Structure 1
Amino acid sequence: MSHGVSNRAEEETALRARLGRKDGTSGESRSLWRAVPLALLIAGGIACYALGLQNHVSLSALVHHQEALSIHVDAYPVRSGLAFFFVYVAAVVLSIPAASVLTIAAGFLFGPFLGGTITVLAATLGSSLLFVAARGVLGDLLRRRAGRFVERLAEGFRRNAFLYLLVLRLAPIFPFFIVNIAPAFFDVKLRTFVAATLLGIVPATFAYAWLGCELDDVIARAGESGHALSLSDFATKEISLALLALAVIATLPLAYRVIKSRRQG
């Protein structure tokens, strides 16, 4: 009887070992498949830079083609709006740093309200697609390499993800593509990411879309001062202060939660 029990135990141990190997293999396979979308997006971004496509969504390109673009939008408003929407989504997904230029172009071509609305929807969709592509592989990377401090940081980010993201969106301090990817490390829920992005980018988007309506005046002022047109010509002191004030206001609930949790701890 003892011999039978021993054989049964050995068989169960061998079975668990085989299952463990299978689970490990399937886990590695899943990790590889999760990395495919992000790898494709990175490859697409590199290809765009190699082909110089980023030069076609620059401020100088907008100034150079402003008349032709205006004529085309007037002739084909719906087609132009859809084309602009998908160009914006592609620029965000491929992490081409052209969000500010495209937002100014949206205001110039479609007006502040329609241009701002198209931009908000396109930026939110593009950000969400990039976030979903990066979340699996970057989340796995953090879990494998995270130390105690990083894990505590990730836990704090997850608890207050909406407020953290809202503050980062309201205060355009960090590049747009970094804010799209960073939450992927912390396993933030997609609906939280979408809600914070959609709400957080509204003020800056409509501000820059409104400034885009004054493109001709900004070009004229830059020409009078004798310097090349740049994004700093659109970033007025009043708008910068307003966006900073909004970010500070959004930080208050987050600061309250952090202080409260520390006191309770």
Structure 2
Amino acid sequence: MADAMERGGESPGAAVKSKWARLVPLAVILVAAMGGAYALGDYLSFETLRDNREMLIAYRDQHYWAAVAVFMTFYVIIAGFSLPGATIATLTGGFLFGTFPGVLFNVGAATMGATVVFLAAKFGLGERLAAKMDSSEGRIKALKDGIDENQWTMLFLIRLVPVVPFFVANLIPALVGVRLWRYVVSTFIGIIPGGLVYTSVGAGLGEVFARGETPNLGIIFEPHVLLPMLGLAALSLLPAVIKKIRGRETV
């Protein structure tokens, strides 16, 4: 029996252990997200930024690149472990570093953090799930094939439409077998519009603090902001629409 097990590969027990080991990174992220939502919700807030703004500005003025490194590290941790406060972090990036280069620091850190979630999900579930969808039949296989044919469209769409939660947009590509480089490129480019909006809001926080007000975080849903973003989302759908029309013409 030992010889048979050697010929057949790893033992059933080892296979089960390997399966559970693959889920550890994703489980850590989920536990950290729940724990962070409970423990850090009151700290990663606009009030915390307001109360500590002078200290943050002083540190930035004295140690600019160290401030950039520390800020981006915290942002990667927030995004990578899906902790509350991503919006506040984006505002902080604009407040400390201006709209530019603040938007680059925000988008870069958010992309790195999102990639952590993507890799954890892909390692734990994505490869197996994508393989099962490839080997299946009927509607599931058709769904997988449709996604594969229009991966760029799908990736940009879930980033550009502001109603898709960031964590969900990180998971979906991993579960359908998207390649890492496509995910990174589409994430970085796709979150620029929304990141630019909130970074610019953060850049104007000095005046907001002076008036004793809070920033309008719903600005992304105002028509003059939302409509151009929806226009970009529609533009990202154009290749899939053209491919569909051409497919009908050749039938």
TM-score per shorter chain, which class? 0.7 to 0.9
> Do the aligned partners of 2:25 and 2:124 also contact (CA within 8 Å) in 1?
no
Residue 124 of structure 1 corresponds to 111
Alignment of 1:167-206 (within 5 A): 167-206=157-196
Cα deviation, residue 190, structure 1? 0.6
> Do the aligned partners of 1:134 and 1:181 also contact (CA within 8 Å) in 2?
yes
Residue 52 of structure 2 corresponds to 65
Residue 238 of structure 1 corresponds to 224
Deviations 1:71-123 (A, max 9, x none): 22222211111111011101111112432221121111111112111111111
Q: 1:89 to 1:258 in 2, by over 3 A?
A: farther
Of 59-68 and 79-88, deviating more is: 59-68
Gaps of 5+ in 1: 1-10
Gaps of 5+ in 2: none
State TM-score, norm by structure 1.
0.81
> Do the aligned partners of 1:60 and 1:229 also contact (CA within 8 Å) in 2?
no
Residue 29 of structure 1 corresponds to 17
- The percentage of aligned residue pairs carrying the same residue is 29
User: How many pairs does the alignment contain?
Assistant: 248
User: Are positions 1:161 and 2:143 aligned together?
Assistant: no
Cα deviation, residue 215, structure 1? 1.4
CA–CA distance in structure 2, aligned partners of residues 16 and 264 of structure 1: 52
Cα deviation, residue 181, structure 1? 0.9
> Do the aligned partners of 2:60 and 2:67 also contact (CA within 8 Å) in 1?
yes
CA–CA distance in structure 2, aligned partners of residues 178 and 211 of structure 1: 25
**Code of the aligned partner of 2:58:** I
> Do the aligned partners of 2:36 and 2:84 also contact (CA within 8 Å) in 1?
no
Alignment of 1:36-51 (within 5 A): 36-50=24-38
Q: 1:115 to 1:33 in 2, by over 3 A?
A: same
CA–CA distance in structure 1, aligned partners of residues 94 and 212 of structure 2: 19
CA–CA distance in structure 1, aligned partners of residues 154 and 232 of structure 2: 13
**Code of the aligned partner of 1:171:** V
